[in-house]
Structure 1
Amino acid sequence: MNRITPEALYTLLPAIHRLRDAGEGEPLRALMAVLAREGAVVEENIEQLLDNLFIETCADWAAPYIGQTVGYRALYQIEGSDVGTRAEVANTIAYRRRKGTAAVLEALARDVTGWPAHVVEYFQTTATCQRINHVRPDHPFAPDLRDPLPLEPVERAFDRVTQLADMRSIQQVPPRRSSGGRHGFPNIGLFLWRLIPMAQTRVPATRVDSRRWRFDPLGADRQLVNLPAPEAGIGSISRPEHVPGAITRRMLDADPALWYPRAFQIFVDDVAVPVALIKACDLSDDGAGWNHPPHAGARVRVDPMLGRIAFPADQAGRITASFHLGFPGRIGGGEYNRAATLTIDPGQAIFPCPTIEFPTVQSALDAAAPLGGIVEITTSDIFAENITLTATAGTELILRAANGQRPILRPAQPVAVSGGEDARIILDGLVIDGQPVEIAPNGDGASPASVTLRHLTLIPGLSFTATGDPASPGATSLMVTTTGVELLLDKVITGPLRLDQTTNATIRDSIVTAAALPARDSAEGLAIAGPAGEGDPGAALTIIASTVLGRILARSFPLVSDSILQARTTDGSPPIRAIRRQQGCMRFSFVPEGSITPRRYRCQPQLAIDSAIALAEEAAGGPIPAAARALIRTRIRRSLRPGFEAQSASHPAFCQLRRATPAEIRMGASDEGEMGAWHLIAAPHREANLRIRLEEYLRFGLEAGIFFET
């Protein structure tokens, strides 16, 4: 279709009218421009109507309507996630043609949940007496103990070891990894990978000495994960290279080209190390050094389970690496897509760095500060320089990473943030290593109106040790000593906060931890308080869908919703305390017993305690003794609490709820999702959608169990 443009419409007019129009100042040309603009809107609408006839190009709202033409049954909508109905609607007919097959169940699980999946038909790994007319040489009763590679995935997704039949239902398996109830002829296992492979591209490796390096630019040991390769189609069954699983030493040793350079790659002075020189090796600690190095030859030894590199000779060049780490969701600093938040206002200037004009971040900030603007870091590099953000009154100063980049700021002193009256400051997409962020008054004693931290990682404990522990346990990550600041933390990972009482802070989709050592003691540390620490009340806190590990002393809680406040004390003092309890509300959240807070609505464990006491009184026909009440309270308080896969910020499953966590927490949010920071990934809704689809596509007589690999 020809595009309607002002010039095209104008040239359709007779030449005499165009000549007369030119003599009168071209009012007719202006009219044609208005008509062309409206015509373009109509033309675009017509094209969109044509696109809406096809599932591949239709608008999101049209996908369910197209699905109705093939009898598609809608599922629960998952707001704010990348899980949609388009892929499933597009494949509905193909799925029904292959209904009941393992390949369809696997593709269906992937489309419905958005997580990579693998299907296991357990009759293939259940011990049987083989018929002489149907010999299965790949189905031995006992595994070959001399070949350790097939033994690595035992009781996991790619386990091919034969086991005796188990007559228990696979749907009744406890929420833990166990072979009980799996191996049986009617059983199907659906394995899902919830951790996302988070890319780090051409980032500087951490030097240990002239031969030894770590992949992680933050200096911690990291488990490398696979970047899933595309499958051939919906008729194929996934293999280890198709899912974001952990890469082990034996997997890398068996076939280096299967993982390198797709999952990870090493560069020396920007020249890629060829796959022929990559050798898997155990580089774990051996006293003060590592196993095996130094070594002769030309091969580069790699330990994917620890994220370590050992070169055969001293390296004077620049060592960089591309690799992937697992993480539950897209929060904190990362190379994921943040385009929706990277807006530009009309007339707003952009100062990219590093460039010839602005070789450092601070030079770009100095240029942008007088009139305001955006300082955009365009590389995923380490910037070892001191950073000061000072916004002029009435301006907006933004320091952010370009989309798809993950720069690391490593200053020698705290990042200083200040501004004049009505100034606005935003930090977006960064990782700050080694120092806290301090928001203080400027030289005139004025304070910025608002400070926004978005997609930011303020490393808990300031930085990581080689083992991934906080280098400075309990050290403050964010200090606000000025008054009247509107503070927003959106999708942020941070250590302890020290906020002035006059601050109004909103924490959304974020994790705040007291960063204790060991990590499980973080709940006893002080996560949020005033600048003086213990005994000094902090800001007015609005906490939405976030996880806080540690005690909180706040001025007030205007609103706490869908969150986990995991805190405990050893001296009987309140783990969570608000100075002003007359205002605010806590709803659909976990708030530990003994806390002094505003009124609560459907918060755990108080809701479960009240319900259990009410049932006991109903059964007794009247009030029950105080001792019975105390017994109920103690029993529920001990059992109904969040369980995390990990509480260390360097762990891939940081603050991810265990499957054994009570359903009152895993599905206790306002939308029946899980409480806490990972409410945004909607795991219960994805699982519920999959169970609905299994009822439709699972062959009669079979049973399916859902297992989370990560």
Structure 2
Amino acid sequence: MSRVPLFERLPEIYRTRDAEVTPANQLRAYLGAVEGPFEALHRHIAQLYEDLFIDTCDDWVIPYLADLLGTTHLKGDPRTLRADVADTIALRRRKGTLGAIERLAVNLTGWACRGVELRENLGWTQHLNHPRPDAGGLPPYGSPALTRFEVPRGGTAPIREPATLALLGTPFDPFASSADVKPAVDDQRHLNLPNLAIFLWRLAAYRLPRVTPLAKGRIDLGPQPAGLARFVLRLDLHPLDIPVRLFNTSRPGFLRAATSGGLVAPLTEADAVPGPLLDARLASHGDAYVQLDFYDPAQTPPSGFDLGDVGLHLFMPQDLAPLLVPPAPQDQWRWLLRGDNLCAWETGLRRPAGIGEIIIDPDIGRLLVGLETADQADRLLAPVDGTLVSRMQASFTYGATGPVGAHPQSRHFPAPPADAEVRHVGAVTGGTSLQEALEGLENATGPVIVEIHDSLVHPLDLAGLTGTAVDGTHSLRLAQSLTLRAAGGHRPILLLARPLSLRVLEAGSATPFSPGVRLEGLYLAADEAAPFPTGQALIDRVAVARLELVGCTLAPGGHSLRDGARAPMQPGLRLADGYGFSDPEDIEAFVPTPDILIQRSITGSLAVDPRYRLDIQDSVVDAGLGFDDAPSGRYAIAAASDPANAWGAALDFQGLTCFGPVRVAAVGGLGGIFSQRFEVLDDQHGCIKWSAFSGAADRLPANHFCVHAPDARVYFTSERFNDPGYAQLQRETDRRVRELGPDDDAMGAFGFLLEAHKWTNLHVRLREFMPVGVRPLVVPVT
């Protein structure tokens, strides 16, 4: 509730007299001086009330409230500590139940969880005098609810039921196994009587609100037998023709407090965890993974994109519905789902597509739609200027290690300055293009903020903008600072026809602090159809005071192709001395030393000369060379002019995973993982702490609490960009790298997630909540 200022509380006569005296408003000025301390006191008193409740208290109050409940003090993310204290009483009442264990794990880690009593998976022989109802048979010994999708305890595997077989080896494995008598340790599923497995899904699932799938072709198969599709449409979900592993969304059970003391929701289900989609379960459990709806393309912007809670949501144009659904009876048409391998779909499928069948390959993110008539096919894949354009829209979910790089997530922006000009792109404006929004930057009188309100592809060609031809290239000429950002939980893609170049309007008008450019939440990629100049960086000129990349992805390439090969690498930045000015007088007149800030971003190699400053925080720099790769002449961070012999810009870092050699003039930082040789010109100054190095003849300044390979081995789930576990540390990694980095947590780009603290906190609580004789095993799934 807003507070009324002191001056406004005075009777009207005093406020009127205060305006009439000479000089005027003396009383207003006096009370204004008192207003600041009074407001601070008012806020403090209000916060004292809020501190009585765990939901609203300040972070420092959490351990004091924990003391009132007698809970053990923990360290880590305040959100998890708050949830732990909030549910203490409810979980104590349910101590020893699987629901309490799952809720406890969710509170302390934020990850989806599944608790499994592994004794239930042991094969056993029943005593004839004590048959179990779940073993099948005639009533009263058989369960009437038993279906072919369920496996009775000790039952044989249904080899003709792929949906159930797909659960083999997963946390939801229903099959009987022999006992595992080896010593039980974390990270492994040991089936034995006292063991309780707590399975955790560590990867985050990000759902893109809406994208336009890439139309890859339409095939007329000719007349077909009844029920089979004549027309087959092929689509790739990723608009840049990149394979993407489809994930499901997380829909865990949760504990609700009720007047009766609360209740525990059902345990986590197999089709409601944030893991990869299982193609074998799409046919029988497709509703848990895929939803199909229609949208209205006649409105501007199009409407009807209300997202469900599944991992893949497909939207077809509304005008196609009458062609697909016969007027009567309605049940004659029903969309069917099927999972299949579409990697080599050009040569045909093992099983032909049926009419109204949607075939999904969740391993590479492909769709195949079977239709009956040419009219249906034309309306779903509409030819535009000789090119097929998909009218189907989709929302899909993918997995990533954490919020590093461009992801669809909520962002909170401060109020823009009073003189700022805000320009909107996408759904809010009904179709304003990015190209149009960047026109006229050289004439701006105040900061310009461009917000993109969709997750679609936005082509950008600087040659198509007025006044960009300068210094023998094409550059954005900035009179004021520019902010280009994703809004509304979106992840827009900027498809560059040529490298992004930034230049101040007049070289002599730049100050050490302005103009600056901030890119936030954007995915930048090269347009191969342009074609983008081979070997050039996505950003090749920064002639401004400051460039900030916050939560961005400068697609580094190196991702897995559909045949298993690796895509070519793509440099991120190439910034040479001289700032790109063609006139020597402009170089002399340009005063700033440009600051390059990269924060929670993923980028390709950085070639930056010494006339810049480089600051990297919680980011991944990828030149495609891991710990076990032989040097190839590529550098992750080095000079732009002569990478092998010159020295790159001075580097400051805090939380950095670097796939490739580093060669810089000076360095200081902490929490880095460097997979190749690290060389510093000035090794007498600066300091590096809590970092891991390759040990390949590194030239380092003073370093403390650092480790070196091969003494300290580092293993990543994946070293390829776009893989779900990209740059994620495996549990087999040396403990010093996982737990003894900055803040007693992991080194590398994802140390800020405090996963080591989450792991420790969970074990502390499990020791307190575990019944006597039960042995907990914490097993990561992703």
Shorter-chain TM range is 0.7 to 0.9
In structure 2, the partner of 1:496 is 605
Residues 604-683 of structure 1 aligned to structure 2 (within 5 Å): 604-605=707-708, 637-638=709-710, 640-683=712-755
| 1:203 is the counterpart of 2:211 | yes
Kindly indicate whether the alpha-carbon contact (under 8 Å) linking 1:351 and 1:373 is maintained by their aligned counterparts in 2: yes
Residues 39-54 of structure 1 aligned to structure 2 (within 5 Å): 44-54=43-53
- Shift in alpha-carbon separation, 1:157–1:481, aligned structure 2, 3 A: same
State which of 280, 292, 299 in structure 1 corresponds to 2:338. 280
In structure 2, the partner of 1:398 is 483
Kindly indicate whether the alpha-carbon contact (under 8 Å) linking 2:691 and 2:705 is maintained by their aligned counterparts in 1: yes
| 1:425 is the counterpart of 2:517 | yes
In structure 2, the partner of 1:577 is 679
Q: SS state of the match for residue 596, structure 2?
A: strand
CA distance in 1 between partners of 2:521 and 2:351 (Å): 37
Superposed displacement of residue 467, structure 1? 5.7
Aligned AA (2:451) = E
- Shift in alpha-carbon separation, 1:103–1:271, aligned structure 2, 3 A: farther
The TM-score normalised by the length of structure 1 is: 0.84
Superposed displacement of residue 36, structure 1? 8.0
Q: SS state of the match for residue 217, structure 2?
A: coil
Kindly indicate whether the alpha-carbon contact (under 8 Å) linking 2:162 and 2:281 is maintained by their aligned counterparts in 1: no
CA distance in 2 between partners of 1:70 and 1:259 (Å): 41
Superposed displacement of residue 485, structure 1? 2.3
CA distance in 1 between partners of 2:318 and 2:449 (Å): 29
Superposed displacement of residue 402, structure 1? 1.7
- Shift in alpha-carbon separation, 1:392–1:323, aligned structure 2, 3 A: closer
Superposed displacement of residue 54, structure 1? 2.4
Moved more, 558-567 or 297-306: 297-306
In structure 2, the partner of 1:363 is 436
Moved more, 221-230 or 533-542: 533-542
In structure 1, the partner of 2:278 is 248
Q: SS state of the match for residue 77, structure 1?
A: coil
CA distance in 1 between partners of 2:354 and 2:109 (Å): 48
| 1:451 is the counterpart of 2:447 | no
- Shift in alpha-carbon separation, 1:128–1:467, aligned structure 2, 3 A: same
Superposed displacement of residue 437, structure 1? 2.7
| 1:225 is the counterpart of 2:283 | no
In structure 2, the partner of 1:438 is 539
Kindly indicate whether the alpha-carbon contact (under 8 Å) linking 1:563 and 1:589 is maintained by their aligned counterparts in 2: yes
Superposed displacement of residue 539, structure 1? 1.7
Runs (5+) with no aligned partner, structure 2: 136-151, 219-232, 256-263, 292-309, 325-332, 372-376, 383-389, 463-473, 527-531, 579-592
CA distance in 1 between partners of 2:319 and 2:90 (Å): 45
Kindly indicate whether the alpha-carbon contact (under 8 Å) linking 1:4 and 1:40 is maintained by their aligned counterparts in 2: no
In structure 2, the partner of 1:133 is 130
CA distance in 2 between partners of 1:382 and 1:439 (Å): 21
Kindly indicate whether the alpha-carbon contact (under 8 Å) linking 1:149 and 1:251 is maintained by their aligned counterparts in 2: yes
Superposed displacement of residue 153, structure 1? 2.6
The TM-score normalised by the length of structure 2 is: 0.76
Residues 401-416 of structure 1 aligned to structure 2 (within 5 Å): 401-416=486-501
Superposed displacement of residue 45, structure 1? 4.4
In structure 2, the partner of 1:630 is none
Kindly indicate whether the alpha-carbon contact (under 8 Å) linking 2:112 and 2:252 is maintained by their aligned counterparts in 1: no
State which of 600, 603, 606 in structure 1 corresponds to 2:706. 603
Superposed displacement of residue 330, structure 1? 0.3
Q: SS state of the match for residue 762, structure 2?
A: helix
Kindly indicate whether the alpha-carbon contact (under 8 Å) linking 2:404 and 2:551 is maintained by their aligned counterparts in 1: yes
Superposed displacement of residue 297, structure 1? 1.1
Superposed displacement of residue 219, structure 1? 1.6
CA distance in 2 between partners of 1:359 and 1:650 (Å): 29
Q: SS state of the match for residue 538, structure 1?
A: coil
CA distance in 2 between partners of 1:270 and 1:76 (Å): 52
State which of 214, 223, 234 in structure 2 corresponds to 1:212. 234
- Shift in alpha-carbon separation, 1:431–1:272, aligned structure 2, 3 A: farther
In structure 1, the partner of 2:158 is 144
| 1:106 is the counterpart of 2:102 | yes
Superposed displacement of residue 28, structure 1? 6.4
CA distance in 2 between partners of 1:400 and 1:520 (Å): 37
In structure 2, the partner of 1:55 is 54
Aligned AA (2:544) = P
Kindly indicate whether the alpha-carbon contact (under 8 Å) linking 2:670 and 2:690 is maintained by their aligned counterparts in 1: yes
In structure 2, the partner of 1:707 is 779
- Shift in alpha-carbon separation, 1:248–1:290, aligned structure 2, 3 A: farther
C-alpha offsets along residues 414-456 of structure 1, whole Å, 9 cap, x if unaligned?
Answer: 1112224233222211111115333437xxxxx3222111111
State which of 381, 384, 392 in structure 1 corresponds to 2:456. 381
Aligned AA (2:212) = P
CA distance in 1 between partners of 2:165 and 2:177 (Å): 13
State which of 590, 609, 614 in structure 2 corresponds to 1:505. 614
| 1:318 is the counterpart of 2:391 | yes
In structure 2, the partner of 1:476 is 571
Aligned AA (2:74) = L
Kindly indicate whether the alpha-carbon contact (under 8 Å) linking 1:499 and 1:528 is maintained by their aligned counterparts in 2: yes
Superposed displacement of residue 46, structure 1? 4.3
Superposed displacement of residue 708, structure 1? 0.4
Moved more, 282-291 or 644-653: 282-291
- Shift in alpha-carbon separation, 1:69–1:215, aligned structure 2, 3 A: same
In structure 1, the partner of 2:647 is 537
Moved more, 596-605 or 196-205: 596-605
Superposed displacement of residue 108, structure 1? 0.4
- Shift in alpha-carbon separation, 1:499–1:20, aligned structure 2, 3 A: closer
- Shift in alpha-carbon separation, 1:144–1:462, aligned structure 2, 3 A: closer
Superposed displacement of residue 337, structure 1? 2.5
Kindly indicate whether the alpha-carbon contact (under 8 Å) linking 1:198 and 1:334 is maintained by their aligned counterparts in 2: yes
Q: SS state of the match for residue 323, structure 1?
A: strand
Runs (5+) with no aligned partner, structure 1: 442-446, 568-574, 606-636
Aligned AA (2:62) = A
In structure 2, the partner of 1:9 is 9
Q: SS state of the match for residue 209, structure 1?
A: strand
Kindly indicate whether the alpha-carbon contact (under 8 Å) linking 1:552 and 1:577 is maintained by their aligned counterparts in 2: yes
- Shift in alpha-carbon separation, 1:26–1:364, aligned structure 2, 3 A: same
Aligned AA (2:360) = V
In structure 1, the partner of 2:267 is 237
Aligned AA (1:266) = L
Aligned AA (1:245) = G
In structure 1, the partner of 2:315 is 267
CA distance in 2 between partners of 1:684 and 1:220 (Å): 33
Moved more, 61-70 or 657-666: 61-70
Kindly indicate whether the alpha-carbon contact (under 8 Å) linking 1:351 and 1:368 is maintained by their aligned counterparts in 2: no
Aligned AA (2:699) = I
Superposed displacement of residue 143, structure 1? 2.4
Aligned AA (2:498) = Q
Superposed displacement of residue 528, structure 1? 2.1
Q: SS state of the match for residue 75, structure 1?
A: coil
State which of 176, 197, 203 in structure 2 corresponds to 1:162. 176
- Shift in alpha-carbon separation, 1:696–1:17, aligned structure 2, 3 A: same
Q: C-alpha root-mean-square deviation of aligned residues, in Å?
A: 3.2
State which of 552, 556, 569 in structure 1 corresponds to 2:662. 552
What is the identity percentage for the equivalent residue pairs of Structure 1 and Structure 2?
26
State which of 549, 564, 571 in structure 1 corresponds to 2:673. 564
Kindly indicate whether the alpha-carbon contact (under 8 Å) linking 1:646 and 1:656 is maintained by their aligned counterparts in 2: yes
Aligned AA (1:239) = E
C-alpha offsets along residues 544-601 of structure 1, whole Å, 9 cap, x if unaligned?
Answer: 2111111222222x2142111002xxxxxxx222233222222221112211222322
C-alpha offsets along residues 531-551 of structure 1, whole Å, 9 cap, x if unaligned?
Answer: 244434322222321111112
Q: SS state of the match for residue 257, structure 1?
A: helix
In structure 1, the partner of 2:229 is none
Superposed displacement of residue 674, structure 1? 1.6
Aligned AA (2:433) = T
In structure 2, the partner of 1:615 is none
C-alpha offsets along residues 370-393 of structure 1, whole Å, 9 cap, x if unaligned?
Answer: 433222222212111214763546
